[in-house]
Copies of this chain bind each other. A is one copy, B any other.
Amino acid sequence: MQNHKKQKEPNLKKLLSGRSVILISNRGPVEFKRDEFGNLITKRGGGGLVTAMTAISEETRATWISAAMTDVEQAMARDDVVVGFPEDNPLYHIKLVDIPKSVYKPYYNVISNPLLWFIHHYIWNLSRAPDITAETHRAWREGYVVANKLLADAAAEESLLHINPIIMIQDYHLFLAAKYIRQQTDRAFLFHFTHIPWPEPDYMSILPYEMRTELLAGMLANDLLGFQTRHYANNFLLCCESLLGCVVNWKRKSALWQGREVYVRSYPISIDRAGLQKISVSSDVLKHETKLKKDYKDQALIVRTDRCDPSKNIIRGFLAFDILLQKHPELKEKVKFLALLYPTRENIKLYKDYRLEVESTVQKINDRHKTDSWTPIYLRIKDNYPESVAALKCYDVLLVNPIFDGMNLVSKEGPFINKRNGVLILSENAGAFSELGNSCLSINPFDVDETAEAIYKAINMPAYEKQARSASLKEIVEKNSSVKWLYYQLKDIVTIEKKKSAVKAVKEVAETVER
């Protein structure tokens, strides 16, 4: 096994030379609660974004601005409490913004999800949904716009305390934030990173004219825009050209907007290797690992672990498994499909319906193929991170078949901690495909027949091929890191700033000469 610890991380501090970074995201890195005695207790959150951004903050001593989620957090926000975290040795400061429920709900549960999420992942059933109604328009104006403005205001205010800070805005909840920051200050460098896919213009035009125009213009208020892949970056530029009538310089990968050149780049996000490595040997994970090994010792383990989201294509994964068992009944009792899912956005009807469909599909397939001593699919829809990590260590086949996916961190985490030379089956529409495409078994996510064949091929792959593919995947994943992901962004930021000040200087000289 390769020693990933030897990979040297780039020096962010040197690059930044004391400059401050202000992060804005919908959800912050830490959850605040009060224990039974009223004391503030904190819990570090999960998720790809939090993991990556935590690594960043630790390097740069940033300020992290996000929406207050709980009553405790809202009270903190109202009292202007700024918290250093971790408390004993603060690496970064957390500032919470109180967004009234009447704003937060439409911002989060109408516009961000499902409207934008479903557009960005191409999963609307267009002949039936969405219906854009007066409520949608109101949710935009009184929810999304207002929440963006509240978070932007906090960032603009914070920026006054720093010299030329870099403001890093995160994801689809905050497409408008840069506009409101720019209205208040021009002393900050504005960078936005989109973690999810960016759709092509026809699909983006599901949004009414005013919304899509405001959204794209909001994005172009940044100085630099980051996407997961070159393809998504190009899709964004296509939208600017086609929906906003903006001049795009395809060679420089930039859009001209209101006299500024806005650069568009791709930075494929990575995983927090050290953190994951640590968790993977925790007692909780080891306990689950032992159990999994015992329970399925004679069975090939097919694993998937995802939020229970329609974009993840969970049902087609089961249909493929169904086809596999129909075609190869000899596999009965010799394979097991572990679907370890996380409940998500359950107050949105489309998600509730999807979960029910997932459950009934599993029921049907289990009924069709089960024997006295064996059920083909084990479905869990419940938070249990240690069990998921244990499964990633043990899989023979990891199924990652999203319809579209910004990156998909599971497809990097799995190969990184897997101990069985397990095979990765990966959708060509996952952002990670552009890095891992040559070492995985690639599938078209809509092709359940191809997916079934890929599982069969994975189960029966010769050991030397599994070993080679697995080593190649590990190598690719180990080449990158959350810190490097940030480093490339900051390096571009510094370069662009230099270029801009050079242009500005030349202009000033020219103007002086003219006078």
Contacts and interface: CB of A to CB of B under 8 A. Distances in A.
B449 A132 contact: yes
B448 A202 contact: no
Interface in A52-79: none
Interface in A273-318: 310-311, 313, 315-316
Given A134-B449, A449-B137, A450-B132, A208 B315 contact: no
Q: How large is the interface on A (under 10, 10 to 19, 20 to 34, 35 or more residues)?
A: 35 or more
A443 to B, nearest CB: 9
A131 B444 contact: no
A208 B133 contact: no
A403 B203 CA distance: 11
- Which residue among A132, A403, A404 has the maximum number of chain B CB atoms within 10 Å of its CB? A132
A123 B126 contact: yes
A203 B205 contact: no
Given A128-B315, A311-B127, A235 B448 contact: no
Interface string A131-151: 111101100000000000000
A122 B403 contact: no
A178 B206 CA distance: 34
Interface in A192-225: 199-203, 205-206, 208-209
Given A127-B315, A127-B403, A404-B202, A208 B448 contact: no
Contact of A200 (B131, B203, B403): B203
Contacts of A444: 132, 205-206, 208-209
A132 B203 contact: no
Contacts of A238: 238
Contact of A130 (B132, B133, B205, B446): B446
- Which residue among A137, A315, A447 has the maximum number of chain B CB atoms within 10 Å of its CB? A447
Q: How many copies does the complex hold?
A: 2
A339 to B, nearest CB: 16
A37 to B, nearest CB: 46
Contacts of A201: 200
A102 interface: no
A232 to B, nearest CB: 10
B133 A235 contact: no
Interface string A89-130: 000000000000000000000000000000000111111101
A311 B242 CA distance: 22
Contacts of A429: 202, 205
B122 A125 contact: no
A488 interface: no
A132 B202 contact: no
Given A202-B203, A203-B200, A203-B202, A310 B127 contact: yes
B126 A122 contact: yes
Nearest to A309: B127
Contacts of A132: 444, 446-450
Contacts of A50: none
A485 interface: no
A355 to B, nearest CB: 12
Given A122-B203, A235-B202, A208 B450 contact: yes
A428 B127 contact: no
Nearest to A314: B127
20 contacts: A122-B202, A122-B203, A123-B125, A124-B125, A125-B125, A127-B310, A128-B315, A131-B316, A131-B319, A132-B446, A132-B447, A133-B448, A134-B449, A200-B202, A203-B203, A205-B428, A205-B444, A208-B444, A208-B446, A208-B447
Interface of A: 122-128, 130-134, 136-137, 199-203, 205-206, 208-209, 231, 235, 238, 242, 310-311, 313, 315-316, 319, 323, 354, 357, 403-404, 428-429, 444, 446-450
The 10 A-B pairs of least Cβ separation, nearest first, read A125-B125, A127-B310, A200-B200, A132-B447, A134-B449, A123-B127, A132-B446, A208-B444, A133-B449, A123-B126
